[in-house]
A = this chain, B = another copy of it.
Amino acid sequence: MQLNTGVENMGRIAVTDGMDEKTIAFLESAGHELELRHHTFEEILDGSLAIFDAVVIRSATKLCAELISASVTKDGGIRFIGRAGVGVDNIDIDAATEHGIVVCNTPGSSTRSVVEMTIGHLLSSTHNISSADRSLRRGEWAKKDLKGSEIGGKRLGLIGFGRIAREVARIATEFGMEIHVYDPYVTEAPGSIQMHDEIDGIFQKCTHISIHCNLTEETRHLVNSKRISMMPGIGLDGSNCGNHIVSCARGGIVDEDAAAHALESGALRTLALDVFENEPYDGSLIDHEGFHGSPHISASTIEAQSRIGLEMASLLVEFFETGVTSTSINNIQ
């Protein structure tokens, strides 16, 4: 009789891009059946996910309409797509909705990590922290060549003003930066933050810019040569600090060729990217001393992964118990 107790609340879950160990242990102890392995495009097209009830992905698995169709059958297949993380541009939400599949992400779990990474990249690039470390490891003492600049007393432009950008704004203000924001979906901002109606206004005003929007057709290559050339180079405080761009958002928003040219010409003094148009990245930005890169690790902290895992686990438990979740991207109830 025990076998029947709540057995309908258990699910077969494909975890294609890895999962925090504590979360695996929690879900397995709750009776769910987990398979942890990556599925290729061809495998999914052949229906490899259709034997599962749910799939949990990160950014490495791309679920286009074709693969979502291949993952459902007449009387079964996946009913839940969990994105362990924030960005859902790797999931065709409309296709999922059409098939009645609930799509959930874990939007708040990585905020603190990404905020810290954004400020870390901003300070590391303006103060030459990574290039200093490289020169020391080459056996050089490049003190004279590594004069940096302060972020205090400068204008920081934020493209997009969601959860992460708001925290970046709060902390950057404490460093003495003046905050400028462009976000067509936001009309009011707290305190002394200056809102702009036109994105070009951000580039014309700000020596420091951080990207916090989603990747859409509208935002692709939003940071291009023309806009970089508008940046003032001279800080609000009058210092010749040059121009600096940071992105821990999504690859493809910054036109990488344009940014490389700008580093070459001096139009940009530094560029810090945690995300790239094609990952793994193997382009030519690394030829520039002013480039500071990281391999999409802004949410790769012990704490964020643990929070993401626990949030996803609670969504899965809720879904298998009730058939719906209290929050979902596509509002399926």
Which A residues lie at the B interface, using CB under 8 A?
A: 112-113, 116-117, 119-121, 123-124, 126-130, 132-137, 139-143, 146-153, 170-171, 174-176, 237, 239-241, 279-282, 286, 292-298, 300-306
> Is the CB–CB distance between B127 and A116 below 8 Å?
yes
Other-chain contact of A150, B116, B133, B175, B286 (Cβ < 8 Å) = B116
Other-chain contact of A147, B119, B132, B152, B305 (Cβ < 8 Å) = B305
Across the A-B interface, give the 9 residue pairs with the lowest CB-CB distance, nearest first.
A120-B123, A141-B280, A132-B294, A130-B133, A143-B295, A136-B293, A130-B130, A150-B303, A124-B124
| B residues in contact with A140, CB < 8 Å | 295
| 9 A–B pairs (Cβ distance < 8 Å), ordered by A | A116-B151, A124-B124, A129-B130, A130-B133, A133-B292, A136-B281, A143-B296, A147-B301, A149-B302
| B residues in contact with A151, CB < 8 Å | 116
> Is the CB–CB distance between A112 and B176 below 8 Å?
yes
Other-chain contact of A129, B121, B128, B143, B149 (Cβ < 8 Å) = B121
> Is the CB–CB distance between A303 and B141 below 8 Å?
no
Other-chain contact of A149, B123, B292, B303 (Cβ < 8 Å) = B303
Number of copies of this chain in the oligomer? Answer: 2
> Is the CB–CB distance between B241 and A302 below 8 Å?
yes
> Is the CB–CB distance between A136 and B301 below 8 Å?
no
> Is the CB–CB distance between B301 and A149 below 8 Å?
yes
Residue on B with the closest CB to A133?
Answer: B130
Residue on B with the closest CB to A282?
Answer: B139
| Chain B CB within 10 Å, residue with most, of A140, A151, A303 | A303
> Is the CB–CB distance between A128 and B294 below 8 Å?
yes
| Chain B CB within 10 Å, residue with most, of A170, A293, A298 | A293
Q: How far is the CA of A281 from the CA of B141 in the complex (A)?
A: 7
| B residues in contact with A171, CB < 8 Å | 171, 174-175
A144 to chain B, nearest CB (A): 8
Q: How far is the CA of A143 from the CA of B132 in the complex (A)?
A: 22
> Is the CB–CB distance between B301 and A132 below 8 Å?
no
Q: How far is the CA of A306 from the CA of B240 in the complex (A)?
A: 11
A164 to chain B, nearest CB (A): 13
